């Protein structure tokens, strides 16, 4: 099957979160399973720099009146660590080159002031439109795909354009990585995007008076997937459907949850170029050395006996960072340390800095995005905290399991599907609590700290966690089945 996979970020070209991990790994797994996959992304400066084997592609004219658009074709770098040349890399990539929209440094969604770029509707409208153009025209120099697989709101207009243009069109799959990001813009933006005004209705793109790119994906795609079975169920409920539950319930038969995988080319403690002391479930000793390295790097007291909790996260309400901050004093009082890496809401960033200043040597924070430090934290921490209010899949807990960094998670979305509570003696891999309140979270933390004081039991659980299989191969099979059903 020929598949065009379109997304707004893909590791290692550009990354702000889990979507990039998925878009950098699933196409590789599909290619390894024998599918003909191409990835489509905007030509951000970082993505252009990192693309391998660059060459000029088709000229596409000026489809939305902001400037000439052309494709730059190349291959995905990857495998055996960032920028590496190991197996599995080389998936074909096309970047949508339109300098007035994409030639901007830094974060793909936000300007230097931390706000959304004001023309994001055009930036991601164009991405969607180019994907749809590749779906209907062979003048682009590329064979037409059988399937276009679009991801999150930034690509939600793909099936809307295809529906509008009609004719023989590829089947579409739309994956929701996070329903909270809805790509909402004033209704009048529909004109410049080249879609008919009649589409601005309840039976179309309209969502509470706005145009929603996410709604377009949910409404017009042939199939909807989301990134874990539990989240697929949750988003159909009034509590968690963010206003889309009615539409999602109506499309129940077209909606499936396929659990994300974990990229063991990139996240493998035995072969991780970012850590100094490799380790494995058979030889855990390196992990203790990685822990002292991390304590030193973060300016934490270098003591093996302090249980070190880590947070690697966007600082957003979704992630329950406020619960971590509430729990910090108790963790410290019980002989623990907390290392935090993240960025996002300024108030949370500041609150983390205050926590670090209040507990020198015991609490540390790095505000920013640092892929390499994220690896050293997964390796050096004893436990990863993810008290998320909702979590479509969550990848950080999968990496934590792989690194024997037993996660403390809330029972929601993909966290519920991937972490088994320690109360299950045979299968436990972490610590699970149910309600997002401080008492329940602290209960789980105390259970973690108690088990940590029993090294034999702790190591047994670490080994079990490290042996879990969340491979992309399994996930890719799920998507292949879905694609086959569509063509």
The residue (of 19 and 300) whose beta carbon lies closer to ligand ADP is 19
In whole angstroms, give the CA distance from residue 378 to residue 39.
29
Position 369 contacts ligand ADP (CB under 6 A):
yes
Strands 206-207 and 210-212: antiparallel
The stretch among 46-54, 338-346, 417-425, 475-483 that binds ligand ADP (CB under 6 A) is: 338-346
Numbers of helices and strands, H then E, in the chain: 18, 18
DSSP secondary structure, 120-156, as one string: HHHHHHHHHHHHHHHHH-STTSSPPPSEEEEESGGGT
Q: Which of 77, 257, 342, 380 binds ligand ADP (CB under 6 A)?
A: 342
Position 395 contacts ligand ADP (CB under 6 A):
yes
Long-range contacts of 199-206 (CB under 8 A, 24+ apart): 199/160, 199/164, 204/160, 205/160
Position 389 contacts ligand ADP (CB under 6 A):
no
Cα Rg for the chain, rounded, in angstroms? Answer: 22
Q: How far is the CB of 396 from ligand ADP (least distance, A)?
A: 4
Position 268 contacts ligand ADP (CB under 6 A):
no
Q: How far is the CB of 392 from ligand ADP (least distance, A)?
A: 7
Q: How far is the CB of 25 from ligand ADP (least distance, A)?
A: 11
- Partners of 224 in beta bridges: 174, 255
Number of residues that bind ligand ADP (CB under 6 A): 18
Q: Which of 370, 421, 440, 477 binds ligand ADP (CB under 6 A)?
A: 370
Q: How far is the CB of 371 from ligand ADP (least distance, A)?
A: 5
Position 47 contacts ligand ADP (CB under 6 A):
no
**Residues in region 403-432 near ligand ADP by CB under 6 A:** none
Q: Which of 3, 7, 21, 101 binds ligand ADP (CB under 6 A)?
A: 21
Q: Which of 12, 18, 27, 183 binds ligand ADP (CB under 6 A)?
A: 18
Q: Which of 37, 39, 341, 445 binds ligand ADP (CB under 6 A)?
A: 341
The residue (of 77 and 320) whose beta carbon lies closer to ligand ADP is 320
The residue (of 109 and 369) whose beta carbon lies closer to ligand ADP is 369
Residue 260: closest CA among 399, 83, 467: 399
The residue (of 372 and 454) whose beta carbon lies closer to ligand ADP is 372
- Partners of 14 in beta bridges: 10
The residue (of 211 and 381) whose beta carbon lies closer to ligand ADP is 381
Position 114 contacts ligand ADP (CB under 6 A):
no
Q: Which of 1, 2, 17, 459 binds ligand ADP (CB under 6 A)?
A: 17
Position 346 contacts ligand ADP (CB under 6 A):
no
Q: Which of 188, 302, 371, 435 binds ligand ADP (CB under 6 A)?
A: 371
* Torsion angles phi and psi, residue 175, rounded to 5: -105, 130
Beta strand ranges found along 334-475 (DSSP E): 336-344, 363-367, 383-386, 408-410, 431-433
Give the up-direction half-sphere exposure of residue 152: CA atoms within 13 A in the CB hemisphere.
21
Q: Which of 120, 396, 412, 462 binds ligand ADP (CB under 6 A)?
A: 396
In whole angstroms, give the CA distance from residue 143 to residue 161.
19
Position 235 contacts ligand ADP (CB under 6 A):
no
* Torsion angles phi and psi, residue 296, rounded to 5: -65, -50
Question: What number of other Cβ atoms are within 10 A of residue 475's Cβ?
Answer: 22
Edge to edge, what strands does the sheet with 171-176 contain?
52-59, 70-75, 92-97, 36-42, 2-6, 147-151, 171-176, 223-226, 255-257
Please enumerate in sequence order all residues whose Cβ is within 8 A of that of 3, keeping only pairs 6 or more positions apart, or say none: 27, 30, 35, 36, 37, 38, 145, 146, 147, 148, 149, 483
Q: Which parts of this chain interact with ligand ADP (CB under 6 A)? A: 17-19, 21, 312-314, 341-343, 369-371, 374, 393-396
């Amino acid at each position: 099957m020929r598949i065009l996979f379109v997304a707004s970020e893909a590791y290692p070209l550009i990354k702000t979160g889990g979507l990039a991990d998925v878009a950098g790994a699933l196409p590789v797994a599909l290619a390894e399973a024998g599918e003909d996959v191409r990835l489509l992304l905007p030509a951000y400066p970082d993505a252009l720099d990192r693309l391998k084997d660059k060459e000029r592609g088709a000229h596409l004219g000026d489809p939305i009146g902001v400037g000439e658009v052309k494709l730059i074709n190349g291959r995905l770098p990857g495998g055996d660590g960032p920028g590496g040349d190991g197996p599995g890399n080389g998936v074909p990539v096309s970047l949508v080159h339109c300098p007035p929209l994409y030639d901007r440094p830094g974060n793909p969604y936000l300007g230097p002031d931390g706000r959304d770029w004001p023309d994001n509707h055009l930036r991601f409208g164009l991405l969607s439109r180019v994907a749809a153009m590749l779906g209907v025209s062979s003048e682009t120099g590329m064979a037409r795909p059988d399937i276009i697989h679009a991801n999150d709101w930034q690509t939600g207009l793909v099936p809307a354009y295809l529906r509008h243009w009609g004719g023989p069109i590829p089947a579409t799959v739309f994956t929701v990585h996070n329903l909270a990001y809805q790509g909402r813009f004033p209704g009048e933006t529909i004109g410049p995007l080249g879609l008919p005004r009649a589409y601005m209705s309840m039976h179309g793109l309209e969502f509470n008076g706005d145009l929603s790119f996410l709604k377009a994906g949910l409404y017009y795609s042939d199939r909807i997937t989301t990134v874990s079975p539990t989240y697929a169920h949750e988003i159909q409920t009034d509590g968690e459907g963010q206003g889309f539950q009615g539409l999602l319930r109506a499309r129940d038969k077209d909606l499936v949850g396929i659990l994300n995988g974990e990229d063991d080319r990139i996240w493998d403690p035995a072969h991780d170029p970012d850590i100094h002391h490799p380790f494995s479930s058979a030889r855990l000793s390196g992990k203790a050395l990685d822990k002292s390295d991390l304590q030193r790097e973060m300016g934490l007291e270098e003591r093996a006996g302090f249980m070190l909790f880590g947070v690697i996260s966007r600082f957003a309400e979704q992630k329950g960072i406020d619960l971590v901050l509430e729990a910090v004093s108790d963790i410290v009082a019980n002989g623990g340390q907390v290392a935090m890496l993240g960025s996002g809401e300024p108030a949370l960033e500041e609150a983390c800095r205050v926590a670090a200043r209040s507990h020198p040597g015991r609490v540390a924070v790095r505000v920013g995005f640092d892929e390499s430090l994220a690896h050293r934290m997964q390796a050096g921490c004893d436990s990863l905290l993810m008290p998320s209010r909702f979590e479509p899949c969550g990848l950080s807990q999968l990496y934590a399991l792989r690194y024997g960094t037993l996660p403390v998670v809330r029972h929601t979305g993909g966290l519920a599907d991937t972490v088994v509570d320690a109360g299950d003696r045979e299968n436990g891999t972490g610590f699970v609590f149910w309600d997002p309140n401080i008492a329940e979270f602290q209960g789980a933390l105390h259970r973690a700290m108690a088990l940590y004081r029993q090294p034999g039991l702790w190591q047994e659980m670490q080994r079990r966690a490290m042996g879990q299989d969340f491979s992309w191969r399994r996930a890719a099979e799920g998507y292949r089945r879905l694609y086959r059903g569509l063509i």
